[in-house]
Amino acid sequence: MHHRIGSLPGRGGERSTPVPAYQPKVEWDKEEVQSILDAVAREGAQRMLISALDQEIEEFLGRARYERQPGRRRRGYRNGVGKARKIAVGCGTLEIRPPRVRDTKEPFRSQLLPRYRRSSESIRALLPELYLQGLATGDFEPALRTFLGEAAPLSPASIVRLKEQWRAEYEAWKRRPLAARYAYCYADGLYLKAGPEDEKTAVLVVIGVTDDGQKELLTMVEGYRESRESWRDVLRDLRRRGLTTVRLFVGDGGLGLWAAVEEIYPAARHQLCWCHKMLNVLDKLPQRLQGEAKSLLRDIYTAPTREDAEERIGNFAQRFEREYPRAVASLVDRQAELLTYYDFPREHWKSLRTSNPIESIFDPVRLRTNATRRMRKAQTGLYLVFQLVRRAERRWRRIDAPHLVIKVLEGVPFTNGIEVIAKRSKRGVAA
C-alpha cells in the first residue's frame, strides 16, 4: 500500500495529518544580541535599585506601603517620587525617580542614593585607574559616554579634583613616622618627562626591608638630578622620621648617593648593583666580545665565595686588560663594593646583588609615563608615580629567609653567607 505524504493508515482508511510549515532558522546579529543583553541588564539593575529604595523607605517609616498601625502615631508619609535622576553604574546609565517622604521629624536621606550622587562607587573608582593606565584627560568624557551613556560623570574637571586628592595623600604619607626597623635600603632615581621642556624631573626613591623581610616604600621626592645635595636631603629626612640604622644600602654607581650615605649613615655598608655595573663594563667593549664578557661577569657574581669571585675578577682582567683597560678598571676599581653581599646571609644574595627590587617597580611607571605627553608640572608627575608605586607595593613579596633579617639587624656576622658562630671557652664565655 502506498501512503500520501502527511497521512497515516487507520481502521477507517486514511487519516490526513497536517505538514508543519517550514520554520527558517533565526540568525542573530552579534551587535543586536549585545544590545539586548545590555538593555536587560540595565532594566534588571533599575528594578533592583527601585526595590531597594522602597525597602529603605519602609525601614525609615517603620511600616510597609499601605500598612496601617492602629494606635500608633505615624512617623511620616510617602510623598510620591522626585525628579528623574540619571545614575551611571557598571551596566550603563539608569534613570531613577527616587521616592520622597514628608511630615517627618528629621529629613529622609537615602544611604543608597545620596543627594547629588550621579555614579556608583565602582564607577568613581574607575576614574583614577583609567588615568593611571594612561587615558588622557581630554579623552575621558567621549570614551566613557560610549559605555556609560550621557550620565557619565567623568570629565577633565574630575581629574583636577583627583590630582588635588593625590597631592593631599602624598603630603600626609611623606611626613609619616617610620616606626619599623630596616636592615636593607634600595635607592635609585627615575627621570620623568615633566616640567620644563629642556630637562627631565628626577624622582628619588628609597625602599626599605623591614625586620620581617617585607619591602616598603619609604620615600619618594623630587630632586635635582641625583646629586649629593639631593640625596643628602632625602636621607636626612628619613633619619628625622625614624630611620636611624641601616645595615646596607644597595644602589647604582652614582657617586652622589654614596657620598650622602657616608655622611648621614656612616656605619652602613655599600652594595653596587651588578646589573648597572655589567652595563657599564660591556659598554666599554666591542660588540663581538660582549657575549663572552657577559658570561664571565655572570660567573663572578654567582661565585660561591668571595675568594672565588676575586679569582674570577682576576681572570676577567687578564683576558681584557691589555686591549680594553677602561673596561677592566670599571670593574676592578669598585671591586670591594661589588662583593659586599658576601658578608650577609646567602639566602639574601639574590635580593642584594642588584637594585632590581626597586628597578622592577619602575617598569610599569615607565610604560605609563612614556605613553603620555610631557606633563607641564613636575609635581603632577610625582603624584602620578606615587600612586602607581603605591598600587604596585601591595604585590611586593618578602625576601627569602625573612627570619634572618633580625640577625642582620642585631649585627650577627656572616662570612661568605654563613653565620659566624662565636666559640665559647669552658667557662661559657665567648672566646
Q: What is the pLDDT of residues 78-90, one digit of tens each?
A: 656 666 666 655 4
Give the pLDDT confidence of 238-250 residue by residue, as tens digits: 999 999 999 999 9
Integer Cα distance of 306 and 412 in angstroms: 18
**Residue of higher predicted confidence among 67 and 153:** 67
> Above 50 in pLDDT, residue 139?
no
Are the C-beta atoms of residues 91 and 38 closer than 8 Å to each other?
Answer: yes
Find the mean pLDDT for residues 403-415: 96
Whole-angstrom CA distances from 131 to 85, 112, 128 are: 27, 27, 5
Integer Cα distance of 258 and 287 in angstroms: 31
- SS3 state at 24: coil
The single-letter code of the amino acid at 291 is G
Query: What is the overall mean pLDDT for the chain?
Result: 76
**Residue of higher predicted confidence among 71 and 277:** 277
Find the mean pLDDT for residues 403-431: 82
- SS3 state at 300: helix
pTM passes above 0.75:
no
For 146-150, the CB contacts below 8 A with 24+ separation are 147/92, 148/88, 148/92, 148/93, 148/123, 149/86, 149/88, 149/92, 149/93, 150/86, 150/93
Dihedral, 30, 31, 33, 36 alpha carbons, nearest 10: 180
Integer Cα distance of 359 and 381 in angstroms: 18
| Residue the block writes with cell 661568605 | 416
> Above 90 in pLDDT, residue 263?
yes
Confidence of residue 7 (pLDDT cuts 50, 70, 90): very low
pLDDT given at position 364:
62
Which residues are registered as beta bridge partners of 215? 209
CB atoms within 10 A of CB 98: 20
pLDDT given at position 147:
46
Give the pLDDT confidence of 269-285 residue by residue, as tens digits: 999 999 999 999 999 99
* DSSP character at residue 86: E
